[in-house]
Chains A and B, each alone.
Chain A
Amino acid sequence: MSLLEVKNLCVSFSAKGKEFAVLDNVELSVEQGSIMGIAGVSGAGKTTLLRTLNLLQRPASGKIAFDGVDIMSVSQEELRVLRRRIGVIFQSYNLFRNKTVARNIAFPVIIEGVNKKKALEKAREIAEELELIHRLGSYPSQLSGGEQQRVSIARALITNPRMILLDEPTSALDPFLTSRILRLVKRVNSVHGVTVIIVTHDMSVIKRVCDQIAYLEKGKMVFCGPTHDYFSEYYLSVSHDDHAAEQLEKAKKILAENGGNKLVRLVFWGEAAGEPILWKCSKGLDVSVNILYGEIEEFKHGPFGTLLVATCGKDSAEFLRRLSGNVYKMEVLT
């Protein structure tokens, strides 16, 4: 069941009397309990999309349904209640600098009218889970960046939200803290069942935690679907990436020098990535296989690999036919 459904969303900003579109007909569907990554280069409209999802940014047109409710047609009062079901973790954390960590975390429930003592008790529980218990009496300026971020996450979780939105959660963190925060996000998602939307320009974040990816380019959604589908298309369409194009040029050169006759790119996903498929498919055939490039990565739902191979021999065609039934995606390049 989808928790969030975005249709034909257009957002425009006006500057110096001119209107320009930041988001152009964006469609997005986020499954209940999943982790969705919104990716794209800087200026593609990722953060604007995130801000539009709880109407911090009003769209010019389109429809946003959260949990079946059209949020653009609700009253201010209903919108306030709705926003309490959506936690936001901003890129700059935006903590209240004149409140202690405990008060910061407790704030969202205090404004709901929960009495202070109970609210602070609940803040304590969450602080315990996020290893912030020793920091409850401190002020934000006394915390490190990583701690400030965890306070901001604790503050978003205290209301037991249905969904949390994270804006570039790893851009200011070192690799160690990045891993830690990604583990935390996964745990929040699996233990608390919270649907997560992460805005990031870092593809490794997408690979490690996201079930789905929405890729934005100049305000347009160019891909929205499962992460492994995105990356298999990505690896197959060379134009995306200088590195891949360079690989292919090298491979073609090797192919020309060594007299192979077919250049093939294979994409594996899940269990198949661990099997000796090349060996299995070439058994008993007159074919030689030369591996030119290979890579395997750990995705959220298992290993994901890509291979660039050259084949020759009179049974090449039969070999490729067998291969195509055993890999996730295959493309014959020459």
Chain B
Amino acid sequence: MISELTRATLESLYMIFASGLLSILLGMPLGIILYTCAGSKRLASVYRVMDVSVNIFRSVPFIILILLLIPVTRRVTGTIIGPNAAIFNLTVAAVPFFGRLTENALNTLPRGVSDSAQAMGVTYRQFVFMVLVPETLPDHILNASVLLINLVTYTAIAGAVGAGGLGQLAINYGYYRFQWNVVLYSVIILVLISQGIQLLGTSLSRMLRK
């Protein structure tokens, strides 16, 4: 029992953090592109298209998204069950979400600060990497913890369709075999993971906020 729980926990953590990392790596640039397009008259139409696409991806329920993605998942990961397939699904769902969170965080940069950077003659690259992102860093850290906690939930949902991890354990042993204590243990572990992530995110963000 204990070894089952440990294995499922590690599987869950692997899925959460691998998809989390991928989503941040891809979602952050998406957010920066959204921010840039929103602020430019020339790119206004690009922004509209991206804005609508992000909304569409975010409004499809995750369990439906997994089903819709089956052919793509099979092609990309070679399988449709197990942690790696789940990571692909989770990432597809989380990138638009994190992109939107990033865009919102970037929008908190005061207009005046962006003006003063322009007045100094920064290049676009310098603006993004030396002003825009560093100045809003504490918000990105908070966003990352929101993302990871969402992924805890999503990972459990993915468990229902064969991803493995705590979600699947709870459903297979607890729900189908009436071992409610397994459900309870799984939930307790998921709560602890979420609390840990939130605590870490909040304190790191507070440390960086000057």
Contact = CB atoms under 8 A, between A and B. Distances in A.
Interface of A: 51, 54, 56, 79-84, 86, 88, 90, 92, 94-99, 107-108, 110-111, 139-141, 155, 159
13 contacts: A82-B121, A83-B118, A83-B119, A83-B121, A88-B119, A90-B112, A90-B116, A96-B131, A98-B138, A108-B121, A111-B120, A155-B120, A159-B120
A166 to B, nearest CB: 12
Contacts of A90: 112, 115-116
B39 to A, nearest CB: 13
Interface string B112-133: 1101101111110010001100
Given A94-B110, A97-B135, A111-B130, A54 B119 contact: yes
B78 interface: no
Contacts of A107: 120, 130
A92 B126 contact: no
B137 A56 contact: no
Interface residues of B, number: 20
Interface string B123-152: 100100011001101100000000000000
A98 B210 contact: yes
A51 B123 CA distance: 19
Nearest to A110: B130
B208 interface: yes
Nearest to B135: A98
A82 B121 CA distance: 8
A111 B112 contact: no
Interface string B35-79: 000000000000000000000000000000000000000000000
Nearest to B113: A94
Given A90-B116, A94-B116, 18 more contacts: A80-B122, A80-B123, A83-B119, A83-B121, A86-B119, A92-B112, A96-B113, A97-B135, A98-B134, A98-B138, A98-B210, A99-B134, A108-B121, A111-B122, A111-B130, A139-B210, A141-B210, A155-B120
A209 B122 CA distance: 31
A163 B121 CA distance: 14
B209 to A, nearest CB: 8
A276 B118 CA distance: 55
B126 A111 contact: yes
Contacts of B131: 96
Nearest to A79: B121
Given A94-B113, A98-B208, A84 B120 contact: yes
Contact of B118 (A56, A92, A96): A56
Nearest to A99: B134
Interface string B9-23: 000000000000000
Interface in B144-178: none
A108 B120 contact: yes
Contact of A98 (B110, B119, B122, B137): B137
A107 B121 CA distance: 11
A97 B110 CA distance: 10
B115 A83 contact: no
A88 B116 contact: yes
Nearest to A92: B112
